[in-house]
C-alpha cells in the first residue's frame, strides 16, 4: 500500500503544468477555447503567451459589435462577453509629511469592465486601452470569418425623452451634446480605424457590415478594414440618427445638405464594389441622386420602399416625373 501511494504521489508530481504541456496537446486545448479563455491563458506565462501568439488559435466569434455610448465605448463579442471602456475621475486624500491635514488629490484614468469585473487603470486613456485590445483582436481574428460586424451609435434614455420636446432650446442642447460625444468617442474611434488602415496587414473578414446612427464618413474608416470579396452585404441604417427626429425642426431641415445622403467616397472602395447586397434605411435623398444611384452598374436588383404619400406629393407637383417613370407607381 505504501509503494502504491508513493507511486500515485510521484505520478501527480510529474504531471506537466499548463505551460509545459506538449505542443500538440496544447494546440488541441486551444482549439476548444473561446476568446475569453484564450486571452486569460495568455496571462499564465511568457512562454504560453508566445506560443498562443505564434499559433493564433480560432476565437470562435460570429460577430463583433461596437456601441458608441455617452462617454464610453462598448465592445460586444458574444451574448455573454462584452467589454466597456470609459474614463473615470475620483478624489483621494493624501497626507503630506510636513502637514497633518489630508489634501484632496484628483486621480484620473480609465475603467475597463468585462462581465461585471471592473479594472481601474490610473493615468490611462480608455481609447488607448481599447486600441490595444482591438489590435490584438484583429491579429487573432484574421484566421476566421465573421458573420457580421456592427458599428452603432446609441442614445441614452434622456435623449429619447428630450427628443419628443419641441422647444428649440432643448433641441439645440441635444445637438451640442451629440457634437461633444462625437469629439470624445466617435472621432478617436474613427482615428483608430484609420490607423489600422494605414498598416494594411490585418484585414477583417466578415460577410455583413452594418451601421446604425453612424455617418457614412465614420463608417468608411471601418469599412476599409474589411477584406474585399469576403464582404457580401452592406447595411447603412439611418446615418442621421438625429436627436431632432419627429420634431418640427427635423421635418423643416430635410433639405439641409447635412441630412442628404452622401456616401463620402464609400462607393469608390473595393469592399463596396465587390459586395452583392446593399440595405439602406432612413435617408433623405434628392431625386437626382436616387437616379444616379439606381443606374450604378454595381447593382442589378432593387427593392425600394417610398411612402405612398410622398410619391403622391411628387406626382402632384410634377417635381420628379422621371423618378416615378423609373420606379413605377406607388404600391
Which tens digit of pLDDT belongs to each residue from 181-223?
Answer: 777 788 888 888 888 877 766 678 899 999 887 877 778 888 8
Highest mean pLDDT among 74-83, 198-207, 274-283: 74-83
Q: pLDDT-derived band of residue 253, with 50, 70 and 90 as boundaries? A: very low
Question: Is 39 contained in some domain?
Answer: yes
Q: Note whether 145 and 205 are within 8 A (CB).
A: yes
Report pLDDT for 148: 93
| Mean of pLDDT values over 61-79 | 88
**Residues 6 or more apart from 60 whose CB is under 8 A from it?**
34, 35, 144
Instruction: Tell whether pTM > 0.85.
Output: no
Question: Is 206 contained in some domain?
Answer: no
Percent of the chain at pLDDT exceeding 90: 9
Q: How many domains would you assign to the chain?
A: 1
Report pLDDT for 84: 92
Cα Rg of the chain (Å, integer): 26
Which ranges constitute the DSSP H helices of the chain?
Answer: 2-14, 23-31, 35-41, 46-55, 126-141, 157-163, 168-181, 187-199, 216-223, 248-252, 270-273, 287-294, 308-317, 321-327
Question: Is 3 contained in some domain?
Answer: yes
Q: Residue 83 above 60 pLDDT?
A: yes
Question: Is 102 contained in some domain?
Answer: no
Q: Note whether 208 and 149 are within 8 A (CB).
A: yes
Question: Is 62 contained in some domain?
Answer: no
Question: Is 10 contained in some domain?
Answer: yes
Question: Is 120 contained in some domain?
Answer: no
Domain span at residue 47 reads 1-57
Q: Note whether 249 and 171 are within 8 A (CB).
A: yes
Report pLDDT for 169: 61
Neighbours of 116 (CB within 10 A): 5
Tell me the CA end-to-end span of the chain in Å, nearest whole number. 88
Question: Is 9 contained in some domain?
Answer: yes
If 0-12 CB within 10 Å is exposed, 13-18 middle and 19+ buried, where does residue 252 land? exposed
Q: What mean pLDDT value characterizes the chain?
A: 73
Report pLDDT for 251: 43
Amino acid at each position: 500500500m505504501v509503494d502504491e501511494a508513493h507511486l500515485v504521489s510521484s505520478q501527480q508530481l510529474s504531471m506537466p503544468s499548463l505551460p509545459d504541456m506538449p505542443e500538440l496537446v496544447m494546440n488541441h486545448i486551444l482549439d476548444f477555447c473561446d476568446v475569453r479563455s484564450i486571452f486569460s491563458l495568455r496571462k499564465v506565462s511568457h512562454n504560453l503567451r508566445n506560443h498562443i501568439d505564434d499559433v493564433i488559435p480560432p476565437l470562435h466569434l460570429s460577430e463583433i459589435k461596437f456601441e458608441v455610448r455617452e462617454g464610453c465605448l462598448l465592445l460586444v463579442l458574444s451574448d455573454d462577453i462584452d467589454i466597456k471602456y470609459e474614463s473615470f475621475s475620483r478624489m483621494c486624500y493624501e497626507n503630506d509629511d510636513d502637514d497633518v491635514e489630508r489634501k484632496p488629490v484628483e486621480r484620473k484614468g480609465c475603467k475597463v469592465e468585462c462581465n461585471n469585473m471592473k479594472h481601474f487603470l490610473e493615468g490611462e486613456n480608455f481609447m488607448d486601452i481599447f486600441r490595444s485590445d482591438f489590435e490584438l483582436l484583429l491579429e487573432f481574428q484574421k484566421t476566421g470569418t465573421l458573420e457580421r460586424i456592427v458599428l452603432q451609435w446609441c442614445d441614452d434614455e434622456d435623449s429619447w425623452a428630450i427628443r419628443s420636446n419641441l422647444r428649440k432650446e432643448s433641441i439645440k442642447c441635444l445637438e451640442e451634446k451629440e457634437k461633444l460625444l462625437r469629439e470624445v468617442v466617435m472621432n478617436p474611434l474613427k482615428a483608430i480605424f484609420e490607423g489600422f488602415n494605414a498598416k494594411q496587414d490585418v484585414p477583417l473578414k466578415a460577410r455583413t457590415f452594418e451601421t446604425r446612427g453612424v455617418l457614412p464618413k465614420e463608417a468608411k474608416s471601418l469599412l476599409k478594414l474589411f477584406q474585399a470579396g469576403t464582404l457580401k452585404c452592406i447595411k447603412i441604417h439611418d446615418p442621421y440618427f438625429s436627436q431632432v427626429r419627429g420634431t418640427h425642426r427635423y421635418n423643416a431641415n430635410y433639405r439641409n445638405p447635412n441630412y442628404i445622403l452622401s456616401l463620402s467616397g464609400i462607393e469608390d472602395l473595393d469592399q463596396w464594389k465587390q459586395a452583392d447586397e446593399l440595405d439602406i434605411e432612413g435617408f433623405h435623398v434628392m431625386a437626382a441622386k436616387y437616379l444616379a444611384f439606381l443606374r450604378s452598374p454595381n447593382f442589378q436588383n432593387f427593392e425600394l420602399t417610398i411612402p405612398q404619400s410622398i410619391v403622391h406629393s411628387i406626382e402632384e407637383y410634377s417635381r420628379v416625373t422621371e423618378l416615378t417613370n423609373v420606379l413605377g407607381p406607388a404600391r
